[in-house]
Amino acid sequence: MGETPETAQSLFAPLTTTGERTGFSLKDLVAEFPNHHNDWTIQEAFLCLILSTAFADGRVVEEEQEEIRALAHRSRTLKNMTLNELAEANRVVLRRRAERSDWLLEVCEALPRDMHLAVFAHCLDIALADGVLVQAEAEFLETLIENLSITPEDAGLITKVVSLKNRY
């Protein structure tokens, strides 16, 4: 076969290919693992956005409260928290919202990118829980779309599905 004993058993033989490198790059992961750490946990950030959606119009109606409670019981992000942990997270959220002018941007940055679409869908679901979407809620959701970097196409699709869900 023409191989010497040294090359037949060599695991690290030099490459002789002249082809170009593949298109793979770890630079794409930079968006998934950003370099802007803050003190919001994922749970606090998620809770902050769903509560802020309910607060957007200045009142929290019973349907919104029920939707938030149901979401806390079924979402993987919140359901493993005890009632005491949820209450403490709620206090942290309210305090940080009151103290920080950039709380919304901080919260959106704290969430993993692959969670953005689902969080927007949950927030829209809460806003529509009472069967009405008022201007203040729409404005909050528009800001959320921007801060979560959701494309107009994705926002439109989610809006279509969630509004149909809440209509019937």
Confidence check: pLDDT of 7 > 60: no
How many other CB atoms sit within 10 Å of the CB of residue 105? 15
Q: Across all residues in the chain, what is the average pLDDT?
A: 88
Q: What is the pLDDT of residue 96?
A: 97
Give Cα separations from 71 to 21, 28, 46, 97 (angstroms): 46, 32, 11, 21
- pTM of the predicted protein model: 0.77
Give the domain ranges of the chain: 42-167
Percent of the chain past pLDDT 70, that is, above it, reads 79
CA distance 101 to 117: 24
Q: What is the pLDDT of residue 36?
A: 54
**Residue corresponding to tokens 């921007």:** 146
CA distance 136 to 167: 20
Q: Mean per-residue pLDDT for 37-62? A: 94
How many other CB atoms sit within 10 Å of the CB of residue 46? 26
pLDDT in tens, 67-125: 999 999 999 999 999 999 999 999 999 999 999 999 999 999 999 999 999 999 999 99
3-state secondary structure of 5: helix
Q: What is the pLDDT of residue 11?
A: 65
Q: What is the pLDDT of residue 41?
A: 96
Q: Which of 10-19, 65-74, 90-99, 154-163 is predicted least confidently? A: 10-19
Domain 42-167 has CATH 1.10.3680: yes
Query: DSSP secondary-structure letter at 100?
Result: -
Dig out the tokens for 148 from the structure.
């979560």
Backbone angles phi, psi at 126, to 5 degrees: -65, -45
